[in-house]
Amino acid sequence: MANLETTYMGITLKNPIIISSSGLTSTAAGIKKIEEQGAAAVVLKSLFEEQINYDAGEVLKKDLSGSPEADDYVRGYIKSNSLDSYLQLISDTKKSVKIPVFASINCVSAADWTDFAKKIEKAGADGIELNINFVPNNPDLPAAEIEKQYLEVFEKVKAAVKIPVAVKISAGFTNVLYIINQLKNRGAAGVVLFNRLYEPDIDLNTMSITATNVFSSSGDLRQSLRWIGIASSKIDKIELSASTGIHDGESAFKMILAGAKTVQICSVLYKSGLKEISNILTELEKWMEKYNYKKLDEFRGKMNYKSISNPLAYERSQFMKYFSSRS
């Protein structure tokens, strides 16, 4: 029988399947069902400071007192209540399951990053996944300044807690490898590639901004595959977790071949149910059996940038070569 054991954030997992931050991981009861299907770990639904502030704003719209003191009280109460609920989720989940439980936080103010992280550690989380995303809407702000903000957030959180901290990044950086390397140098326990961000659309009937489909498709695998394949060969001593587009055992197998330590799944579970966790594990074992692999380390990175005869296959120029060679 195949040995699927691996690590994430330096913590041993029974297999590489992690359920990523979503509504599926928002209750202890739901996470218990996830564990029963064979998942090795979960990332709790993100604690979004932006959502907390929005909720407070909606409440304040209904408050006609106009008192600054009352407004501050409402904001403070909603933030405290949201954080307390999240901390209770951590505590309840840790009591309900044996698999590692990682918290996920997304903040917009520097002070709250460290405050949330300290309380999350105290509540018993096994690690923290920072879901950082700054939308660059200032044309005068250099790209290097955006990168600096990401790194400063990580440094502050890392200094505030003793539990391992990973970062989930987007693919929008000018140099993805630079960010991964800088995070590694600052002590990141892992990097997740990539964050699936909110993407806007326009509803022509209502002339309003709406969200596009929030679920990934199997075709979305390609971008993560490319950068896992390149990063795993260029940057040592950092655990890479692949996210987005992993819908079956075959795609999980590909990601590990490219160099991933773990894979994070979500959309396929919304589409087809929690049973897909055990299905993916079964498929992964079958692929390993087909190629006579007994454990993940025997083939992890076997198809990354430095391990294949034509590493340029991972580079963007191949797109042009592909079409220029077809009639």
Per-residue confidence (pLDDT) for residue 46, from 0 to 100: 86
pLDDT, tens digit, 9 for 90 and up, residues 203-213: 899 998 887 77
Per-residue confidence (pLDDT) for residue 74, from 0 to 100: 34
Per-residue confidence (pLDDT) for residue 52, from 0 to 100: 43
Give the integer Cα–Cα distance in Å for 21 and 285: 25
Per-residue confidence (pLDDT) for residue 61, from 0 to 100: 44
CA-wise closest residue to 257 among 306, 324, 302, 212: 302
Per-residue confidence (pLDDT) for residue 124, from 0 to 100: 98
What does the block give as tokens for 248?
């079956």
What does the block give as tokens for 112?
């709250």
Tell me the β-bridge partners of 156: none
Overall size of the chain counted in residues? 327
pTM: 0.87
Query: Residue 279: in which H helix or E strand, if any?
Result: helix 275-290
Give residue limits of the domains in the chain: 6-324
CB 43 within 8 A of CB 19: yes
Per-residue confidence (pLDDT) for residue 217, from 0 to 100: 77
DSSP 110-148: HHHHHHHHHHHHHHT-SEEEEE-------TTS-HHHHHH
Per-residue confidence (pLDDT) for residue 134, from 0 to 100: 76
Per-residue confidence (pLDDT) for residue 65, from 0 to 100: 46
Q: Extract the residue ranges of the chain whose pLDDT is less than 70.
A: 48-81, 107-110, 198, 316-327
- CATH 3.20.20.70 is right for the domain spanning 6-324: yes
